[in-house]
Structure 1
Amino acid sequence: MDSCSCFLPPSISNGRGRGFIGFVDPANTNQVVVDKATSDTLKSDLTTVFLPIVYIVVFAVGLPANGMAIWVFLFRTKKKHPSSIYMANLALADLLFVIWVPLKISYHLNGNDWTYGEPLCKVMVSFFYGNMYCSILFIACLSVQRYWVVAHPLSQQRKNNKVAVGVCVAVWAFVWLTSTPLYLYDHTVRIKDPNITTCHDVNVIQDALDPFPSVRLPYYYFIFMGLVVFLVPCVVIVVAYVLLLGVLGNSMGDSTASKNRRRAVVLIAVVLVTFVVCFVPSNVMLVVHYSLLKDGVADNGYGFYVSTLCLASLNSCLDPFIYYFVSEDFRNHVKNTLRCRSSRTVERMRVSFSSMKYSKRSKSFVSDGGTTQSSSC
């Protein structure tokens, strides 16, 4: 048995523990001792190679994709509508998270050694979970809005931007308020072996016989967020899309409805992939992880748990696909932005082509004066 194991309870010191539970070192109260399995995991390729690779992909894709999305929503979309407002806020939530990802990359590449201090660790953890729950809530808002637009096309409520803005403000206020508990306890832990400082990885248990007081705050927080901020929006999203498909199914003879149905199916598939990959595993494992810690159970598959949290960050890359399939305007604006077309150029082209007639013989647009122009703009 190694020198650290003598301070651990039998259930932890036998090498089977994978809960990342630490106990204060009696010889040095500024350090925490962990079992061999935890120490090995902190040194493994899972946490020092796989995780930073995923975060590098998230940063490389999420930063430009969400930056362009915000640019399109703010400067290229003239007619704002509720869907664009929800999508802009979703892109902002993703961007606020992505800008902190380099710290996660540095942390894992440095052998899970956090060198930026406790306050910055709390901020990064807060933005991580804030992004996840903001994404869930805004996707739920988009799903309900999508159903309402299709089911009530003549309703003025579908164009009520004030309601959308109010909902977005409420979502931001709710998420920031519920993130407060994450600032009320320490996330950094100084480990004796390996000689590193972890950030939101190791849970320090003060009393092995009664572990619940040491994890009471995060336990209540993640149980509440899992049941209220994850499960309830999931139900809302499922109901909204079932009703949406029902409305589109009732008008199958209409070619427009058929096109909307195909688009809705693709959108549902993208949202489903986002939830199955990013949100369902991470939220389930958060509840399971802290429930087991509360009962003092160490062997709880921490490797899978930390991997699901990493995969949750992929929503910052998948969300732009939701914008792409929800809004035709967004698709057109992205194409024009990539082609370096200004808003004035796009408007001139639209006006020019609206005054032309399409000739089937020449397969081109012909102006009133007989001038022929290509349609490949």
Structure 2
Amino acid sequence: MVESTIEQLAATRSFGVGAGVSNASAFLDSEFRYVFFPVVYSIIFILGLFANFYVLFVLRLLRESKAMGEIRIYMTNLTIADLLFVCALPFWIGYYSRHGNWVYSDFMCRLTGSLFFINTYCSILFLGAISVNRYWAVTQPLDAASSNHRCRGIIVCVVIWMCTIAMSIPFLVSPGTNIDEKNNTRCFEGYQDENDGRKKRVAATHFAIIGMFFVVFFLVVVCNCLIARVLLSQKPPQSEIHSATIKSRKSHRTLSWATERPRGVKRRALQMLIAVVGVFALCFLPHHVVQGPWTLAVLQIREGFGHVDWDQRTLQLLNDAHQITLFLMGLNCLLDPVVYCFATRKFRRFIMEHLKKLVHGEGCSNTATSHVSMDSRNQSLAHPHPVCD
């Protein structure tokens, strides 16, 4: 499946081992993927389908309880992108189970490949948007609390979807299948004998995509480092502590909430930024580090820009590493729900209430939603400007 990202779409059109010797290039393959991918993608399919549908279920109930803010709009769209990827997995499981033989239509090859690309870069951009949103919430808490900015969240999501889909259109409308020398139908791989001009354009496109990723990754790291610095340097305002002490004469609960909430907000925010950066570092960073050398290894440009003279062992190691990084990118649809739990207290609290009800065999949806909604109203009355929900 993963051979169908924008990086793979054209880079696999020449599988160059010894391309400088003749026009016909040998197919640079990794045999272990025909056993590895069907197993791991089957697991990801089952867990990812359950996890992401459950996330949509939770987000819908939170929306009905008036708890839908800008960050939950990003979560919902990120979950939809993950589900698009998960729904395409059965086709790729079948493809690798048949040792790289695509038995479906050419359109399905192009569609499922485009879905993988859309999921990858929508996930990257939405996680970037979540990081910027959390930075804004921590550095401008009064502004963040005074408005949910749903309109801005919707506009950002529309722009992300439009940009990502627009970038995938050329590959969606171009032929995706090709017959190899063993009469197997390859999906976005197996193309050979492209000229150097075409290969160089492909390489330039891939490096542009890699550059875009590192720009977003740099933005995410900077935002989360600034968030951490602000949180670690914060001290409870003396006026807030004095106010809480006065209120405690009337209500012990108000004092407890006022003193514990700042620590809880700081802890959750730090957990969230670690989760976001962790997903980037595990799922996306290895692929984009390996992608550049792998592209040049596979293209085997004969001379000029992009030409490399690596031995067969190096080429094979790069291709094997590339397969592993593709698997890691597929894991993001399982790890994104972890980010949701750290990003918002209400999301995590709803899940805990829901699980308690399921364990005790009680009805859960309405009760858990009502509890979260009531808690949200009580906190709003106790503190009109929460830093993070």
Q: CA deviation at 1:22?
A: 8.8
Is the CA contact (8 Å cut-off) linking 1:51 and 1:307 kept in structure 2?
A: no
**Map 1:7-86 → 2, pairs under 5 A:** 20-21=15-16, 35=26, 38=28, 41=29, 44=31, 46-77=32-63, 78-79=65-66, 80-86=68-74
Is the CA contact (8 Å cut-off) linking 2:350 and 2:369 kept in structure 1?
A: no
Letter aligned with residue 328 of structure 1: R
Partner of 1:367: none
Give TM-score, length-normalised by structure 1. Answer: 0.76
Is the CA contact (8 Å cut-off) linking 1:82 and 1:158 kept in structure 2?
A: no
Partner of 1:231: 214
- Name the SS for the 1:105 alignment partner: helix
Partner of 1:373: none
In structure 2, distance between residues paired with 1:60 and 1:52: 12
Please list every run of 5 or more consecutive structure 1 residues that lacks an aligned counterpart in the other structure.
1-18, 24-31, 355-377
In structure 2, distance between residues paired with 1:282 and 1:200: 18
Partner of 2:305: none
Identity among equivalent pairs (%): 29
- Name the SS for the 2:178 alignment partner: strand
Is the CA contact (8 Å cut-off) linking 1:90 and 1:135 kept in structure 2?
A: yes
Is the CA contact (8 Å cut-off) linking 1:188 and 1:199 kept in structure 2?
A: yes
Structure possessing the higher relative contact order (Cα contacts under 8 Å, 6 or more residues apart):
2
Q: CA deviation at 1:215?
A: 6.2
* Structure 2 residue 237 is matched with structure 1 residue 249: no
* Structure 2 residue 284 is matched with structure 1 residue 279: yes
Partner of 1:126: 114
In structure 1, distance between residues paired with 2:345 and 2:321: 38
Partner of 1:264: 269
Does the C-alpha gap of structure 1 residues 164 and 189 become closer, same or farther in structure 2, counting only changes over 3 Å? same
Partner of 1:358: none
Q: How many residues align?
A: 318
Is the CA contact (8 Å cut-off) linking 2:341 and 2:347 kept in structure 1?
A: yes
Partner of 2:250: none
In structure 2, distance between residues paired with 1:212 and 1:54: 37
Partner of 2:242: none
Task: Identify, as 1 or 2, the structure richer in helix.
Answer: 2
In structure 1, distance between residues paired with 2:140 and 2:91: 46
Letter aligned with residue 229 of structure 2: G
Partner of 1:222: 206
Q: More deviation in 119-128 or 291-300? A: 291-300
Does the C-alpha gap of structure 1 residues 201 and 310 become closer, same or farther in structure 2, counting only changes over 3 Å? farther
Does the C-alpha gap of structure 1 residues 294 and 212 become closer, same or farther in structure 2, counting only changes over 3 Å? farther
Q: CA deviation at 1:345?
A: 2.5
**Map 1:270-349 → 2, pairs under 5 A:** 270-292=275-297, 293=299, 295-296=301-302, 297=308, 299=312, 300=315, 301-338=318-355, 339=357, 341-346=363-368
Is the CA contact (8 Å cut-off) linking 2:200 and 2:301 kept in structure 1?
A: no
Partner of 2:379: none
In structure 2, distance between residues paired with 1:353 and 1:330: 12
Does the C-alpha gap of structure 1 residues 160 and 294 become closer, same or farther in structure 2, counting only changes over 3 Å? farther
Q: CA deviation at 1:307?
A: 2.2
Partner of 1:163: 152
**Could you tell me which of 156, 164, 180 is aligned with 1:191?**
180
Is the CA contact (8 Å cut-off) linking 1:54 and 1:311 kept in structure 2?
A: no
- Name the SS for the 2:186 alignment partner: strand
**Map 1:172-191 → 2, pairs under 5 A:** 172-191=161-180
Task: Identify, as 1 or 2, the structure richer in strand.
Answer: 1
Does the C-alpha gap of structure 1 residues 271 and 252 become closer, same or farther in structure 2, counting only changes over 3 Å? same
Q: CA deviation at 1:283?
A: 1.9
- The C-alpha deviation readout for 1:300-335, integer Å capped at 9, x for no partner, is 321211221222111001101000111111112223
Letter aligned with residue 134 of structure 2: R
Is the CA contact (8 Å cut-off) linking 1:97 and 1:131 kept in structure 2?
A: yes
Does the C-alpha gap of structure 1 residues 145 and 204 become closer, same or farther in structure 2, counting only changes over 3 Å? same
CA RMSD of aligned residues (A): 2.9
Q: CA deviation at 1:184?
A: 4.9
Does the C-alpha gap of structure 1 residues 310 and 290 become closer, same or farther in structure 2, counting only changes over 3 Å? same
Partner of 1:366: none
In structure 1, distance between residues paired with 2:276 and 2:160: 19
In structure 1, distance between residues paired with 2:147 and 2:193: 51
In structure 1, distance between residues paired with 2:84 and 2:151: 24
In structure 2, distance between residues paired with 1:348 and 1:75: 10
Q: CA deviation at 1:352?
A: 9.4
